[in-house]
Amino acid sequence: MSVSMREIAKIANVSSATVSRVINCSNLVTPETTERVRKIIQDLNFVPNNSAIHLKNGKSQIYGIIIPDLTNPFFTETIKIFEELLVENDKELLVANTDFHSTRTQKSVRRMLLRRVDGVALLTSEFEAAPLESLVQNRIPVVTTDHYRTGSGMSDIVVDFAEGMAQIVSHLKSLDHHNLGFIGGTEGLVTSRVRRESFLDAVVKQGLSSREGWIVEGDFKIEGGSAAMAKILSQPELPTAIVTANDLTAIGALRTAHARGLRIPQDISITGCDDIAMADIVYPPLTTLEISRKEYARLLFEALRVGTEDVMRAGKQYTLPTRLVVRQSTGPAPSTEKPRQRRSR
């Protein structure tokens, strides 16, 4: 099909070994020979076949990334930086999207195995670790997020929600909020549980309160946020501020609130999490927790790089800090009795 090294070799009147040496910049070749071979490579537009290289030396130079939602800017922004890191290091990126389905996660893992990727970054945190076993078994390093488990060849990046939620709650407390609601992520994901528990922890520790009907499940997407907000608003009494599991959820909540005629933040404060670009664009701009995509991508790469060097090394746990970003979706608590009565519309 396309040109091979042997053809180059034939034309240049050398052996394929010499051509290989030229390509890999071995210093065992005469400058003249190098020059001649280089020219022919140029002329014929020769590009080496990566599969052959892979087959020979066992490294595919491809990393895989498995994410739950390709339309969530937090992930695409992370992927973008991760991809840049890989390209800088002459590696390639395979993207798999799961839409939060565990069957699709399993299929994705299988795809990664098929392509013999050099490492897998798992940005989703389903409970089942089953498919990960097969990766480790095939000596492919893995880095997970909020998985709270490490092992041989398995690292984990933990987002510091404990600290983050504490900051959010503290910020709301300083604005005189006492009754907080929470819209979480999809049930069944470790990361959802962690976010919710971190929130509750902070609420209790700081002496504020929440209650059953104010804590609702979402799906990490706008729709889920909208629906969850509607549920909360159907309660007889309302919290003065609502903390959410991510920015998309917050945006959905914002939307429902607007539709019901609530003013943000005068009537109710809402916070997000992630600090996606959109957070600063919606109305009103979201108070949220920044999670640095740059740092995240860097940690993912670092964890896999270390893992690739020594597959059997025990994985490490990395911590990803958060930073409170205050914008206009939070404001002083409305000065009515607490918990205040539901507004009649």
Partner DNA sequence: GTCCCTAATGTATACGATTACATTGCTGCT
Partner DNA sequence: AGCAGCAATGTAATCGTATACATTAGGGAC
Interface positions with a second copy (CB under 8 A) = 1-2, 45, 47-52, 54-55, 58, 60, 70-71, 73, 76-77, 79-80, 83-84, 87, 92-97, 107, 110-111, 113-116, 134, 137-139, 222, 251, 255, 258, 277-278, 281-283
- CB distance 85 to 30 below 8 Å: no
| DSSP-derived secondary structure for 84-121 | HHHHHTT-EEEEEE-TT-HHHHHHHHHHHHHTT-SEEE
Choosing from 6, 80, 263, 294, the residue that interacts with DNA (CB under 7 A) is 6
Choosing from 35, 39, 43, 52, the residue that interacts with DNA (CB under 7 A) is 52
Q: Is 130 in the site for DNA (CB under 7 A)?
A: no
In whole angstroms, what is the distance from residue 115 CA to residue 257 CA?
Answer: 46
Q: Could you tell me how many residues of this chain bind DNA (CB under 7 A)?
A: 31
Q: Is 244 exposed, middle or buried (0-12, 13-18, 19+ CB in 10 A)?
A: buried
Smallest separation (angstroms) from a second copy to the CB of 296: 15
Structure tokens at 39: 């020219």
- Strand partners for 209: 179
Q: Which of DNA, a second copy, none sits in contact with 87, Cβ below 5 to 8 A by type?
A: a second copy
Q: Is 45 in the site for DNA (CB under 7 A)?
A: no
- CB distance 56 to 111 below 8 Å: no
In whole angstroms, what is the distance from residue 112 CA to residue 138 CA?
Answer: 11
- Strand partners for 154: 142, 151
Sole window of 9-17, 77-85, 171-179, 325-333 interacting with DNA (rule: CB under 7 A) = 9-17
Q: Is 138 in the site for DNA (CB under 7 A)?
A: no
Sole window of 29-37, 101-109, 117-125, 301-309 interacting with DNA (rule: CB under 7 A) = 29-37
Please, which residue, 16 or 328, has the CB nearer to DNA?
Answer: 16
Choosing from 25, 30, 90, 236, the residue that interacts with DNA (CB under 7 A) is 30
Q: Is 1 in the site for DNA (CB under 7 A)?
A: yes
Compute CA distances 298 → 76, 215, 265, whole Å: 15, 34, 35
Smallest separation (angstroms) from DNA to the CB of 143: 25
Smallest separation (angstroms) from a second copy to the CB of 53: 9
Q: Which is it for strands 340-341 and 322-325: parallel, antiparallel or unpaired?
A: unpaired
Please, which residue, 66 or 165, has the CB nearer to a second copy?
Answer: 66
Q: Is 61 left (phi over 0), alpha (psi -120 to 50) or beta?
A: left
In whole angstroms, what is the distance from residue 319 CA to residue 322 CA?
Answer: 10
Helix count and strand count (H, E) for the chain: 12, 14
- CB distance 232 to 213 below 8 Å: yes
- Strand partners for 184: none
Q: Which of DNA, a second copy, none sits in contact with 96, Cβ below 5 to 8 A by type?
A: a second copy
Site string for DNA, 55-84 (x = CB under 7 A): xxxx--------------------------
Residues in contact with DNA by the rule CB under 7 A: 1-2, 4-6, 9, 13-18, 20-21, 23-24, 27-30, 32-33, 46, 48-49, 52-53, 55-58
